[in-house]
Structure 1
Amino acid sequence: MPELPEVETTLRGVSPHVLGKRVREVIVRDKRMRWPIPDTIHEMEGCVIESGTRRAKYMLFGTKKGTLLLHLGMSGNLRVLPADTPFKKHDHLAITMDGGKQLRLHDPRRFGAALWIHGDVMEHPLLKELGPEPLGDEFTTEHLQSDCKGKTAAIKQVIMDAHVVVGVGNIYASEALFMAGINPRQAAGKVAKVKLAKLVQAIRKVLAASIEMGGTTLRDFLNESGEPGYFKQTLRVYDRAGEPCRVCKTEIKRIVQGQRSTFFCPTCQK
């Protein structure tokens, strides 16, 4: 599943090719996404894409008439291609710009989204109740401590809650907890403030590093296939069950939390 770094990398990759461009045509090849692509999306035609931003895992492309909200779901990707490139089976949405480039949403499992929103996009129900951005000023030790207070849920589950902080997916939660020296099973309300401070900084560090290295999945947004990112080469615990810890050589363990695999070092993470 594309996580926040992949979405941020995608946004940075496609933005130079769509910002300031006028939309010539919107092609909806299959509207059956997580929510049906609305017919109003054709209002984009004739509009200039003035902005490209990210909120959590949503990409927002703004025009004077409205905002295109895109979500990659579990298997989606965006590509900028020449408009005459043959469509693939799961290319569901194509936005053709003046100049001949086309922004395509490809999503085999159709869990992604493409919505057209009027008014203040941040007031949309999908965005309004989200927690702070992990790399923003609002994500502080005090914020995390307040959201953890009294909670018996495992700390890993809490930091993956988008109402607490957005974009800390499974890979990055495991990595950040390792960096902070926190056992992922520990009750959130029992984690000391000094450890929470380390966790805030670890979340920032691991996400920033992944963005810098191109995420853990896609890196090239100007061809049809994409290329692997490089962050996987630096993973300390995720998907390394049975291998030695890079710090203490203890065997990395795997457990299941909330139907997701968690990886940790039982020695480094007390």
Structure 2
Amino acid sequence: MRRIYKILLVEDEEINGKILSHTMEKYNFSIDFALDANAAFRLFNPKTYDLLIVDIRLPGLDGFDVIQRIREQEPTIPVMMITASERKENVERAMQYKVQAFLLKPLIPERLKRKILQTLSIQEDELFSKQQNPFQCSVKQVSNIELEVNLKGCPLRKLDVGDVLKETLSFFAKNREISYIDFDVDEGLLYYPDSLIMLDEIVARILKSTRLLPAELFFKGLYFQNVEKKELQKLPHLSRCKFQTPVPLR
């Protein structure tokens, strides 16, 4: 399985934050965006992020202040700095702070991606492209009483649970004898933020819209080989469903 890389971005220009987020969230990256130093400090927890990207110029505390404060908690976190120019004094100071790379404005998506891969020593084959693996939900009736739902790929943007379930629930309008649903969930959904919460919402909607019980919903697939059991147990609806045994939950 490819891992998800978490980035903390500190940038007071919202348009640059959107460019970076839009570029990297097409892949297996998760971006937390802070508009100033104080917002960054509230977001930051040690061992949470793989990379800090920070603008030199920020309101209040500057980018170097952010690096210093965060490095006090996590000395080895890689850092990239956003700057409008490679002024000598900034470059020299960045070297003192052991900044790995500079991003020159304006931010160009392909250059941005390349710099991040270089900084984190990521190979192209370690990326999961959401564009090349678009989300698909397919439903078929495998018997008079059983549906099979396949969830493959990863959405590029937030999904509406109602849209995901529209086809599934339409089968119940035609056949009230359906008693079981088998869900096969592909690895790709791992790269969708809050995917477990989305699956829990899917279960909740099915339970509300049909006469099925949690024990009549079966889940399997590569997705669940990479889910922590303690995270699953927090979910009020999904945790009561049945899973393929033995379930390799970590």
Return the index of the structure with the highest Cα Rg.
Answer: 2
Q: Which has the higher contact order (CA 8 A, sep 6+)?
A: 1
Would you call these one fold, judging by a TM-score over 0.5?
A: no
Q: Greater helix share, 1 or 2?
A: 2
The bucket for the TM-score relative to the shorter chain is 0.3 to 0.5
TM-score (norm 1): 0.31
